[in-house]
Amino acid sequence: MIADPATRIVPGPPPTDGDDQLAPDVWGFKDTRFVLLPNGNAMLTGGRYALSGTELPALVPWVRQVLANPFVERPASAGKFPAPVPAARAPEAFLAAAAQRLGKAQVSTDPLVRMRRGHGHTLDEMYEIKHHGLHRVPDAVVFPGTTDDVVALVQLADAHQVVLVPYGGGTNVSEALRCPEDEPRPIVAVDMGRMNRIRWIDKENRLACIEGGAVGRHITSQLAEHGLTLGHEPDSYEFSTLGGWVATNASGMKKNRYGNIEDLVVDLEAVTAGGVIRRAATTPRESVGPDPRRWLFGSEGTLGIVTSAIVKVFPLPERVEHDALLFPSFEAGVAFLHDLSRSGVAPASVRLVDNLQFQLSQTLRGPATGLNAYKRRAERWFVTKVRGLEPTKMVACTLLYEGTTDEVAREMATVQRLSKARGAMRAGSENGKKGYQLTFGIAYIRDFVLQYGVLAESLETSVEWSRALELCARVKARVAREATERGVKGPPFITCRISQIYPTGVCIYFYLGLNDDDLTDPVGTYGAIENAARDEILQCGGALSHHHGVGKRRRGFLPAVHTPVALDWLRALKQSVDPKNIFGIGNL
């Protein structure tokens, strides 16, 4: 992968806020989590987010009401971290050779280091690490610093019959990192955290070469120093990595302007069981037969390790604007999004939440006193009495505009025209900004309510426009039936938002929450209801996943997605490029 030396810049090292700032037992940063204050209000600790440090008097009462949950702390639900970690099946000869190659500091058998590389952030995994523990975790963790280090590790794994598992940010919700319990060989996690540099930036050709272990928040800040952006911003971008985005075929919130990961990657370098995949030069497009590099997209650690990628970069936008709209119903909001997709002029990000999720967003506001209280009452009166929007039906759409001044003006004018035709009222830039930022707080809320007996997780799909409303309604109805049949106390929390729009359809993102009162197998019950929701999605013509991937969580549904011939092709590909199953994590 060659760039013209005359046009490239070599940035400095990435920021130093690394894994030591991340929480070992819950999502996100150590200094950031929701807590219940003595006065009954919730609060997000730390100072990283606009919401941080604000007392939230409405959140807990709302959860009590919606889920019929008393919201009393239950140590049995929260568990105690860390749960027991399985003993390492130490591959001594491999570890000695790896330490000689990498240095002793880059090889670890520490139980907590091993455990963290053996799970993602599904409800099951979060529950297990605080209760009975994971049944199998990596036996060791290695930290390569170069592509040559990764090549050497693959050769050592081949020689010593060791399984290698790539590890990036550990943010997946597909059980992609869960180690196969029946694997007799030692399992070694390859933590890519040291391969986190931007190798070069080519401003003239708008390209950058970035290593696979680089974290989204660092990529964003470093490119910004040079007036550039990648534009890829998945919900997990603060913690997930470039290599992980390729391996899961990820999508970002601003894909309308910048594209999904498959649109952004121009070239990549990967280490496979047979050696290194790389190209001598990067070109805008070519036709040279089937592209082996594309096999890595969505491969989820089964075919090799992405060590770097050449990606498109863009000038920082001249203008950035947030906005929000209120619609009288979810149906009206979806019709607006459909109109917007056909206009060919869509903001960088546009998201529509249903009424229940809109209600949740309203609980994430501080107490109203004095003039602020009067202002809120006036706003509520205007929305409900003057504009006639019903509190139990109205929905919200948040928008983010990025681009030149003219582009943003054109997009805003189009949105204003189309939304007005669907009965919308503008809610303003501050509400738009808060709605956009809510995305980064949802995972923190999930880990907070788990302490109080609420089991929650997300699932996503994509579907054609003509079936979007049907799919949302049927999934909600299926979840309600399944919850009743399985003895769930109180109604389930099932809400959705449309996160992405395409000319042909939408990405729909669901949040599912259950009260675990009186459930003998809470996590098992949750999993069964989630699987029923996925079954309903497939029956409605939806995708098994839009961007989360398959992992082990959804692997059983693949025969409903692919024909037997396609499944045979996938198995044949794996057998051909990795005949000894060195990358034996067992996904797909």
Q: Domain spans of the chain?
A: 85-125+134-316+554-588, 317-440, 443-553
Quick: pLDDT tens for 168-179.
999 999 999 999
Q: Model confidence at 4, in pLDDT bands (50, 70, 90)?
A: low
What is the CATH number that goes with domain 443-553?
3.30.300.330
pLDDT at 515 exceeding the cut of 60:
yes
pLDDT value at residue 226:
97
Average pLDDT, the chain: 94
Q: What is the DSSP-derived secondary structure letter of residue 385?
A: I
Which of 69-73, 131-135, 276-280 is the least confident region? Answer: 69-73
pLDDT at 195 exceeding the cut of 90:
yes
Strands (E), 383-483: 395-403, 425-426, 454-464
Nearest Cα neighbor of 454 from 77, 81, 173, 129 is 77
Pick the CATH number of 85-125+134-316+554-588 from 3.30.465.10, 3.40.1190.20, 3.30.420.340, 3.40.50.2300: 3.30.465.10
> Which residue in the block uniquely carries the two structure tokens 């592509």?
147
Nearest Cα neighbor of 312 from 334, 284, 287, 331 is 284
Rounded mean pLDDT, 161-173: 97
Nearest Cα neighbor of 431 from 495, 364, 371, 498 is 364
Q: For a pLDDT cut of 90, what percent of the chain falls above it?
A: 87
pLDDT value at residue 482:
98
pLDDT value at residue 303:
98
Residue 509 bears catalytic tag? yes
pLDDT at 565 exceeding the cut of 60:
yes
pLDDT at 501 exceeding the cut of 70:
yes
CB 445 within 8 A of CB 452: no
Rounded mean pLDDT, 229-234: 97
pLDDT value at residue 2:
52
Quick: pLDDT tens for 442-496.
899 999 999 999 999 999 999 999 999 999 999 999 999 999 999 999 999 999 9
pLDDT at 69 exceeding the cut of 90:
no
Q: Which residues contact 553 (CB under 8 A, 6 or more apart)?
A: 122, 173, 174, 175
pTM: 0.96
Buried b (16+ CB within 10 A) or exposed e, 393-422: ebbbbbbbbbbeeebbeebbebbeebbeeb
Please name the CATH architecture into which domain 317-440 falls: 2-Layer Sandwich (3.30)
Rounded distance between C-alpha atoms, residue 236 and residue 350, angstroms: 17
Domains 85-125+134-316+554-588 and 443-553 share a fold: no
Buried b (16+ CB within 10 A) or exposed e, 167-203: bbbbbbbbbbbbbbeeeebbbbbbbbbbbbbbbbbbe
Rounded mean pLDDT, 60-82: 86
Q: Compute the half-sphere exposure of residue 25: CA atoms within 13 Å on the CB side of its CA.
A: 17
Rounded mean pLDDT, 29-58: 95
For 348-428, where are the alpha helices, taking DSSP H only?
355-363, 370-381, 405-421
Q: Model confidence at 386, in pLDDT bands (50, 70, 90)?
A: confident
Quick: pLDDT tens for 326-382.
999 999 999 999 999 999 999 999 999 999 999 999 999 888 777 777 677 777 878
Phi, psi dihedrals of residue 387, rounded to the nearest 5°: -85, -15
Helix (H, G, I), strand (E, B) or coil at 474: helix
> Which residue in the block uniquely carries the two structure tokens 């139990």?
392
What is the identity of the amino acid at 128?
E
Q: What is the DSSP string of 525-554?
A: HHHHHHHHHHHHHHHTT--S-SSS--TTTS
pLDDT at 588 exceeding the cut of 90:
no
Are β-strands 265-272 and 275-277 bridged in parallel, bridged antiparallel, or unpaired?
Answer: antiparallel
Catalytic residue among 237, 258, 444, 509, which?
509
Q: Model confidence at 502, in pLDDT bands (50, 70, 90)?
A: very high
Q: For a pLDDT cut of 70, what percent of the chain falls above it?
A: 99
Strand order in the sheet with 493-501: 425-426, 319-327, 395-403, 349-353, 493-501, 505-515, 454-464
Which of 88-92, 304-308, 545-549 is the least confident region? Answer: 88-92
Rounded distance between C-alpha atoms, residue 49 and residue 32, angstroms: 9
Q: What is the DSSP string of 223-276?
A: HHTTTEE-----TTTTT-BHHHHHHHT---TTHHHH--HHHHEEEEEEEETTEE
CB 309 within 8 A of CB 247: no
